[in-house]
Amino acid sequence: MESEFVAWLRRHAPAHPQLTLGIGDDAALLSLLSSQCVVTSDMLMDGVDFVLSDCDPRRVGRKALAVNLSDLAAMASKPVAAIVSIAVPTTISLEVTKAIYDGLLELAAEYGVALAGGDTNSWRHPLVINITAIGEPPQRGVLTRSGARAGDAILVTGEFGGSILGRHFDFRPRVDEALCLHQRYDLHAGIDVSDGLSLDLSRLARESSCGAIIDASCVPISGDAFRLAERNPDRGSPLDHALSDGEDFELILAVSAETAERIVADRPIGVPLTRIGEFVAEPGLWLRSESGDCQTLTPRGYEH
């Protein structure tokens, strides 16, 4: 399928000012603003990250790019280009493959991302799509996982839990939000929630050599988490879903207590920002009740 499909893709992938040489050669040539580049890669598999037979293939392509943009957002990096590799089952039609790319290209256009090429293959097994996204670091340098300090507030964008009901496809990567916040405020650290709020928070805390306390009553729980908990009371409370479902693709940020207050008061972005707890010197993760009792919280979420 390669030659026909690549010809279609060359016609469909728009020009981009930073894509000096695009699809059709052995590699692409990108022109960046500086000599540093930010690189991330995510592989999505049918039956794991989506079920192709149950969904619009455009959503698969969109998600494959969106998860990468979310990683760049976590670094406060502006996305520039995406390189897409795909292994398509021989049983699906060229139209489905094109629909996957249509979904991807639509999101790429929204975020000003160039499609810089990749690799197309077919095989007798389920669909695999890998995207590598390349971004530019912001002027004040990338945001990392390792800068949180004891006493910092834990700020999060958006709501958590129940993304399986649809948000894991349709989420908006918090690129603009991260760029805006990183430019206006002194952010100490950041991570995006791909695997679970508690799990990803524990990762950020570990990289920063500190611990974290989550205030149970402060976690913004999505309506989807309530719906899931209602359907299956055995599978945990809405809060449990919010803490461990994953694929929320919201940001966790570490900022000083004063900055957190300012940010929450300023409302600088269109997405809600909530202070859900604080970083502490002792490594570990705790859930604090309204009465102030702290219980050890086992980080839970999706392990690949």
273 binds a second copy (CB under 8 A): no
Q: CA angle at residue 139 from 135 to 141, to 5 degrees?
A: 75
- Give every CB contact of residue 215 below 8 A, 6+ residues apart in sequence: 276, 277, 288, 290
Q: Which is nearer to a second copy, 45 or 271 (CB)?
A: 45
Adjacent-strand bridge partners of 136:
78
- Could you say which of 13, 23, 65, 87 contacts a second copy (CB under 8 A)? 87
**Torsion angles phi and psi, residue 276, rounded to 5:** -115, 5
- Could you say which of 12, 14, 41, 266 contacts a second copy (CB under 8 A)? 41
93 binds a second copy (CB under 8 A): no
179 binds a second copy (CB under 8 A): no
Going by C-alpha positions, the residue among 118, 137, 20 that lies closest to residue 61 is 118
Let me know how long the chain is: 304
Going by C-alpha positions, the residue among 167, 272, 142 that lies closest to residue 219 is 272
Handedness of CA 2, 3, 4, 10 (dihedral sign): positive
The helix or strand, by DSSP H or E, that contains position 286, with its residue range, turns out to be strand 284-288
Q: Which is nearer to a second copy, 86 or 153 (CB)?
A: 86
What DSSP state is assigned to residue 47?
Answer: T
Q: Which is nearer to a second copy, 43 or 180 (CB)?
A: 43
29 binds a second copy (CB under 8 A): yes
**Binding residues for a second copy restricted to 193-232, rule: CB under 8 A:** 207
Distance CA 235, CA 161 (A): 12
- Could you say which of 42, 152, 248, 250 contacts a second copy (CB under 8 A)? 42
CB of 179 to a second copy, least distance (A): 14
Distance CA 254, CA 259 (A): 10
**Residue 286 has which token pair?**
């705790």
97 binds a second copy (CB under 8 A): no
**Binding residues for a second copy restricted to 121-150, rule: CB under 8 A:** 121-126, 128, 130, 132-135, 137, 142, 144-146
CB of 217 to a second copy, least distance (A): 28
176 binds a second copy (CB under 8 A): no
Tokens 């037979």 belong to 53
Please say whether the beta carbons of 271 and 176 come within 8 A.
Answer: no
Distance CA 256, CA 136 (A): 26
38 binds a second copy (CB under 8 A): yes
117 binds a second copy (CB under 8 A): yes
39 binds a second copy (CB under 8 A): yes
CB of 292 to a second copy, least distance (A): 31
Q: Which is nearer to a second copy, 11 or 124 (CB)?
A: 124
Residues forming the site for a second copy (CB under 8 A): 1-3, 20-21, 24-43, 45, 47-48, 71-72, 74-75, 77, 81, 83-87, 116-126, 128, 130, 132-135, 137, 142, 144-146, 190-192, 207, 303-304
